Structure 1
């Protein structure tokens, strides 16, 4: 953890951090290759997939042991605004599920003459289980929404590329270029396919201006 640059912002600063992470994976036997070139570019889908994998690995392997994350980060190397606040160092409150579990053990007596007291007591633990199941499903829904958003962004990204190629072909049909060769055509298509996000956005704005 001492080798991690917590102030990294640019690509050249993030690359060594990912290499440290890859070495840590290899040291503990995690068979996972980190695609540094993709992650440092800050692409939404690439980083989302990496975070989902880390979350899944944590949930499968975490044993519930105590872990002081702030101490492991060596906060002396962090600026004041990045250090944990005093509130974060206070003991965590007991989770709601534990409170419900304890409350379910308290006997509940029915009304005089009524016969539903024991029935309510037996149903209390089921309520805690339902609450836990509800929280798990809610987290799954959030993960699915994030995945859908990423897929929609990727869909729009490639649709814009196809649209640019279509516009190029239509322009050549209206104004044929006698000097056009197969190699030049392939080169033009590749320029569109390998264009970056900002270049695609610029072409989309140009298309909108032309339509107006």
Structure 2
């Protein structure tokens, strides 16, 4: 089973819509963008579907939002790759950034790999049940470990606020709070617009770079071909040089 798939393989020509349909139908999800799977949890569950019992699902965080949480999911995925002797390199630093092209390429590879394992179909796999079991394990772990704040609360009763503190809090004008909230909302909306523009520019640059590399490789192949003894002395090649 090949795990290193060349960039010109047909796997990398599968479109986003087909990839999304495959993920959503296989795992009973409702993703609208491939990069929404950048946390690594989806990849772990896909491996769980094709290799039952190989993925420690209780370690997979489906609610990962921060990069350090996503990295933990990719560590689980890398451990599974190592156990299965899969040599595919996982570019974690790029995937966790949510870059569309990087996430699409890795998911294209995932689909090709999963298809090669099960022949294109996943049978008798209850994706919802496996996710709930994973989340249930995490909740049980949280309940069994009392927090530091709750321990302190059991030994000392909270102090009521002093009359001075209550008076200061009441003195804050409501107009100031309203102004601060509107400023924060405006800032968030502006940041969101900039983030979308940056993502589009990055995607455009990535596409141009891949197109450049593709045509350069073709030109290099032609150059090498023209230098072979059988072709180098042909009239057409001699005329060109």
* TM bin (shorter chain): 0.3 to 0.5
- TM-score normalised by the chain length of structure 1: 0.36
User: Which of the pair has more CA radius of gyration?
Assistant: 1
- TM-score normalised by the chain length of structure 2: 0.32
